[in-house]
Structure 1
Amino acid sequence: MGLPKRRCPNCGDTEQHFRRLHDREQVFALSQATVRVHRADLHKFRRCTREGCVRVQSYFNWRLGFDLPEEFRAPARPPV
């Protein structure tokens, strides 16, 4: 089974793959003030896997989400 595809408002409202949150992302999500993520609901949140995207949102409601800070953005790959 592959990663789920969901609507991502940060990626031009296109369908993108989302994955479960890693440890650091979970810690940030629990401390996020704008979207109150309760520990019991943490398993419902996913992160967009598109390169450069920092969107985290509920698996069930794409409107319930937030952006991770810049330090979570993957560094750009050098040209080959």
Structure 2
Amino acid sequence: MGLPKRRCPNCGDTEQHFRHLRGAERAFALAQTLVPVHRAELDKYRRCTREGCVRVQSYFNWRSGFDLPDEFRTPPQTAA
């Protein structure tokens, strides 16, 4: 079983794979939320894995989310 697919408003409202937040993404997400969030609640947030997307959203509610800053954006892969 692969990563879960969810609706991503940043990717043209298409179904995309989402993964758990990692390291600096988690730290930013804790600071980003307007309401204090317990670390356990943060586990319900996932990041879109599509190249260049910085969307973070709740696994259960795609409307509950935000964008990471550009420094989290994955640079495009170039052919050698």
TM-score clears 0.5? yes
Instruction: Find the aligned partners of 1:7 and 1:43 in 2 and give their Cα distance.
Output: 18
Paired residues in the alignment total: 79
Could you list the runs of 5+ residues in structure 1 that have no partner in the other structure?
A: none
Could you list the runs of 5+ residues in structure 2 that have no partner in the other structure?
A: none
Identical positions, percent: 71
Aligned CA distance change for structure 1 residues 6 and 46 (closer, same or farther; 3 Å): same
Using the TM superposition, name which of 38-47 and 8-17 deviates more: 38-47
1:66-77 equivalences in 2 (<5 Å): 66-77=66-77
Q: Would you identify which runs of 4 or more consecutive aligned residues in structure 1 move more than 4 Å?
A: none
RMSD, aligned CA? 1.3
Q: With the length of structure 1 as denominator, give the TM-score of the two structures.
A: 0.91
1:1-80 equivalences in 2 (<5 Å): 1-33=1-33, 35-36=34-35, 38=37, 39-80=39-80
